[in-house]
Structure 1
Amino acid sequence: MSEHESSHVPHTPHPPHTPHPTPHTLAILGAGAWGMTLAELARIRGHNVRVWSRQSGDRLQTILDGADVVISAVSMKGVRAVVEQVHAAAVSPQTIFVTATKGLDPASGNQSSLPLLPSQLWQAAFPAHPVAVLSGPNLSKEIQQGMPAATVVASQDRVAAETVQKALSSASFRVYTNPDTLGVELGGTLKNVIAIAVGTCDGLHLGTNAKAALVTRGLAEIIRVGSFWGAKPETFYGLSGLGDMLATCNSSLSRNYRVGYGLAQGRSLTDVLTHLEGTAEGINTTRVLIQLASQQAIAVPITHQVDRLLNGEITPQAAVEALMLRDYKAEIH
């Protein structure tokens, strides 16, 4: 998921001259800050918007009836359950599914298979429907305040991607399309691990040089993992990779950044999470990624230190020292 703070969504300013698309019916699954922000973006574009959450008590079938686009904005731990609930209901044959969740499925992945991404869970349940991924540098609180932002909708179905693009684009929220669904989804997911590391760096007040080095090497690590997965390396230089990482690694609005920052301040992980609104997806992503890297012999030095830090095996200072004391090597191979 994108980084966000509160589920309260004020009216987002919208320039009156921006042309509105043909109205659609959009079902938003997940009433957290990101889900509500997407709902508001769709409403100001003139669409019929319905929002559902597992706590709302609303009948899911009523929300799904006639929906042209279904956007899932639930946390990673809830994706499987929501997919099963939607699969048990009835949707239109033309319905487009969009996932706005950033995470790796902890229940999948072994020696012979990679962990599943949210889009793959949706596609497996709805093989005849187009599935798209929405990801980018999207801090929801800034979007709620009407500040300009951009994102990417990725799908192998070009028409589906363009439909979602037109549905959400406005003068303050620019939506790009990309056919590399895997790369866009991984970019938004893997950067959360780097955000924890950068939050730790800032919490230790190590300076701009250290932070710049960490972000740059973090991007190299993401590209290494993504390329192994089969994504296009150039995708990670776009909005969902580098763009999302810059936003997440430079804002206290980012929950993953705040996890690292809190740990660097000497607080326990339990204490940090107790005072954190919503889910820091980077914690689960780190765990799953370490398992993958171990199985496939992928070098992930930053992720490795983040994992040790989250497990209480190392102090923030020792984690940074371990990265700085690695063997000398060339920057580019």
Structure 2
Amino acid sequence: MPKVAVLGAGSWGTALSIVLADNQFDVALWSRREEQVFEINDRHTNEKYLPDRTLPTSIYASTSLEEVLQDTKYVLLVLPTKSIRQICRQILPYLTPEHVIIHSSKGIEIETHKRISEIIQEEIPAQSCKGTVVLSGPSHAEEVSMRLPTTVVVASDVLKTAEEVQDIFINKHFRVYTNPDVIGVEIGGALKNIIALGAGLNDGLGFGDNAKAALMTRGLTEISRLGLEMGANPLTFAGLAGIGDLIATCTSKHSRNWRCGYALGQGQSLDEVLSSMGMVVEGVNTTKAAYQIALSQNVDMPITKAIYQVLFEGKLPRQAVEDLMGRGRTQELENY
């Protein structure tokens, strides 16, 4: 069987490993933690991240990057944004010009404001791999691991490379489209987490469906504004990596960004929420990065600004909503 390396044994990395295993690939799953490796290999479970799921026996785990990457052609990074740069440096010695690097991480590097593919390309020279592909879209790990119908998109600057990755993932449960707009797919996947925090805040405050529908709609406008400024295709934001991912993340309790926002709306502090969740909430750092980018490029993002103020300046969620509602009148399509 062909073999795929998956770096990151959280819920999403494990769920994508199940898809690949269903497609007759051997999956080498990398984890930092010995106890997690033992559980996956011995019991074929990953209870912390995907409780009550039995993993295919063609998935095995290791803490050794060298072992995981041996005899592979595809390397899938499913890691927190803050880990991407370091891991790229660590895997570089084991890569060949035939390797395709795929990532399914949704964030922006806080220190540099780089997208994930930009980080990868900075750390892994073009001659050291065949190309980079991003996989994104509305896809809760819990549902993918149950083989419920899911549709995603893969994006690359080279269509043939995107089609290669499309072929290794697509099956009757997991439909995959291609898209040439890497910037738009990455920006849509990252920034929807900001709006999901807001949707959770809305629900925690008890503001109802009208407010959440408006938040999502105007949030998509903000995502599109910043995306266009960064060079994205506007049509991408009407697709799976845009409105599709936004709907899934803002309306489901599977979303850790929604859960974080909900707890904040219920009165918990950010430190309390992050400590109790025990998992990375990408939207928190992405809010800071997007707010800083918007300021530097003079892009109007009032929802992002309000969420930034709640997260980092101690503004009360209810006051943030009241200030948003009380802004001066404007046209819906003005400054789109």
Same fold (TM over 0.5): yes
Q: Which of residues 114, 124, 143 in structure 2 aligns to 1:116? A: 114
Q: Which amino acid aligns with 2:75?
A: V
Specify the alignment match of 2:111 in structure 1.
Answer: 107
Give the 3-state SS of the residue equivalent to 1:82 in structure 2: helix
What CA distance in whole angstroms lies between the structure 2 residues aligned with 1:321 and 1:197? 13
1:311 and 2:312 aligned = yes
- Which residue of structure 2 lines up, in the alignment, with residue 55 of structure 1? 33
The offset of 1:296, in angstroms, is 1.4
Q: Is the 8 A contact 1:66 1:91 kept in 2?
A: no
The residue that corresponds to 1:25 in the other structure is 3
**1: CA distance between counterparts of 2:68 and 2:267?**
45
What is the Cα deviation at residue 36 of structure 1?
A: 0.8
Check the 8 A contact 1:148/1:172 in 2, yes or no: yes
C-alpha distance after superposition, 1:118-163 (max 9, x if no partner): 1111122232331000101111001111211111110011111111
Size of the alignment, in residue pairs? 304
Partner of 1:157: 158
Pairwise CA distance, 1:314: 1.2
Report the counterpart of residue 46 of structure 1 in structure 2: 24
Distance 1:277 1:175, change over 3 A: farther
Match of 1:12 in 2: none
Aligned 8 A contact 1:150 1:175 in 2: yes
Shift of residue 92, structure 1, vs aligned partner: 2.4
Q: What are the within-5 Å matches in structure 2 for residues 169-184 of structure 1?
A: 169-184=170-185
Name the counterpart of 2:42: none
Separation in 2, partners of 1:143, 1:131: 23
Per-residue CA deviation, residues 165-203 of structure 1 (Å, 9 max, x unaligned), is: 111111111011101011001100000000001111111
| RMSD across aligned positions (CA) | 1.2
Q: How many angstroms apart in 1 are the aligned matches of 2:299 and 2:118?
A: 22
| In 2: Cα distance, 1:266 partner to 1:306 partner | 15
Structure 2 residue runs without a partner (length 5+): 35-61
Residues 217-232 of structure 1 correspond to what in structure 2 (within 5 A)? Answer: 217-232=218-233
Is residue 94 of structure 2 the alignment partner of residue 90 of structure 1? yes
Q: Which residue of 2 aligns with 1:111?
A: none
TM-superposed deviation, 1:312: 4.5
Whose helix fraction is larger, Structure 1's or Structure 2's? 2
Moved over 4 A (4+): none
Aligned to 2:14: 36
The separation in 2 between residues aligned to 1:309 and 1:176, in whole angstroms, is 36
- In the alignment, the residues of structure 2 paired with residue 189 and residue 285 of structure 1 have an alpha-carbon distance, to the nearest angstrom, of 7
**Equivalent residue runs for 1:5-24 within 5 Å:** 24=2
2:77 matched to which residue of 1?
Answer: 72
More RCO (CA 8 Å, sep 6+): 1
Matched residue, 1:194: 195
